[in-house]
Amino acid sequence: MQFHPTALMLPGAPHFLISEAVRGEGARLHDATGHSPVAGLAGGDLAPRDQVSRALARTMAAQGVDHVWLDLRPVGEQRLQSQFPTIVGRCRELGLEPLTGSIPVAPAAHYWMGGIGTDLHAATSVAGLYAVGEVASTGVHGANRLASNSLMECLVFARRLAQHLARSLTGGAMATTAPRLATGHLTAAGRAAEHPLLQALQQGLRQLCWNAAGVERRGDLMIKALAQLRQQRQDLEHWPQLRQLSQLEPGTGLAVERDANAGLRAQVDLQHRLVLAELLIEAALFRCESRGGHHRTDAPASQPFWQRHTLQQIGRAIATGAVT
């Protein structure tokens, strides 16, 4: 996971990303006393985003605070208004005035590096399944993704996929088959009691991932978190609605009562989050080194023999593969 160093940190407000370009134009980070948390980095405010994120996280932990400050005023009012109107406008919507004072910022999880392995046509190892964008591992990102590369990646691979499908489908359209409905249906039983629990579990999952697989990671914490995640996922998958859903045969549908739909979607969403969190922490625990956005305090140096991909496949132990 790559962390963006400067997300707006305002209670009750979305963590709006403050572009690193503002620091390129002169904006400066500082703590509550006015000292720079990145002064010790080569490049200071313009150091790589993983280094800046770690410096901010360490400062926040040492001072017992949940944010530092970003002063946009050195950019100049005219350049701020002309080059960063969205940032200025969003800050004002939230009651901040970036032209007269600093704004609160903190690192935030930003971009999932890796994902589902694909070829150069966006095809996965499953016939008929394609992946484009952040979900895909195309091979064009290294250990520390460059800012804004994701947009170009989406454009390039979406176009390649469209061209590939156009060639594949020449001479005939894709056949579609309506799913068969299974006997039985999902009801809204227990829905009122489930929603608060699901919300609490999701919030707990966010905190667990931040503590165990955040900007800095440590093996013993990840071992405990991984065991906890696996237990939570197994418990959730025994809930009646998810168990009924998991027993469907391929190509089979299931009638869902209107009032049960929201609860079922929340359960499936949490299940997916638990699976992804488990995969992330398993991979971070497996890689006993630090490389780009993955930093382990118990293994702080990069190791040449770890310059390989991490491979996770159903039914197989986690392993490595050559970088091609």
For the domain that residue 106 is a member of, what is the CATH number?
3.90.700.10
Is 191 within the bounds of a domain?
yes
Domain co-membership, 14 together with 107: yes
Is 231 within the bounds of a domain?
yes
Q: What is the pLDDT of residues 11-30, one digit of tens each?
A: 888 889 999 999 999 999 99
Place of tokens 């800095």: 216
Percentages helix, strand, coil for the chain (3-state, rounded to 5) are: 45, 15, 40
| CATH at 273 | 1.20.58
Is 69 within the bounds of a domain?
yes
pLDDT of residue 90: 95
- Residue 110 and residue 186: Cα distance in Å, rounded? 35
- Residue 114 and residue 135: Cα distance in Å, rounded? 8
pLDDT of residue 186: 65
- Residue 322 and residue 306: Cα distance in Å, rounded? 10
Is 177 within the bounds of a domain?
no
Place of tokens 């004002």: 92
Domain co-membership, 88 together with 150: no
Question: Which pair of structure tokens corresponds to residue 218?
Answer: 């440590």
| pTM of this structure | 0.87
Q: What is the mean pLDDT of the chain?
A: 90
Is 318 within the bounds of a domain?
no
49 is catalytic: yes
User: Contact at 8 Å (CB) between 287 and 273?
Assistant: no
Low-confidence ranges of the chain (pLDDT < 70): 171-194
Question: Which pair of structure tokens corresponds to residue 155?
Answer: 């454009």
Domain co-membership, 194 together with 153: no
pLDDT of residue 185: 61
pLDDT of residue 150: 81
Residue at a domain's end among 63, 89, 111:
111
* Domains identified in the chain, total number: 3
Is 173 within the bounds of a domain?
no
pLDDT of residue 36: 98
Domain co-membership, 221 together with 129: no
pLDDT of residue 319: 97
Domain range enclosing 219? 186-285
Domain co-membership, 78 together with 142: no
- Residue 50 and residue 34: Cα distance in Å, rounded? 22
* Selected catalytic residue, list 28, 49, 90, 217: 49
Q: What is the pLDDT of residues 68-122, one digit of tens each?
A: 999 999 999 999 999 999 999 999 999 999 999 999 999 999 888 889 999 999 9
pLDDT of residue 238: 92
Domain co-membership, 94 together with 21: yes
Domain co-membership, 148 together with 107: no
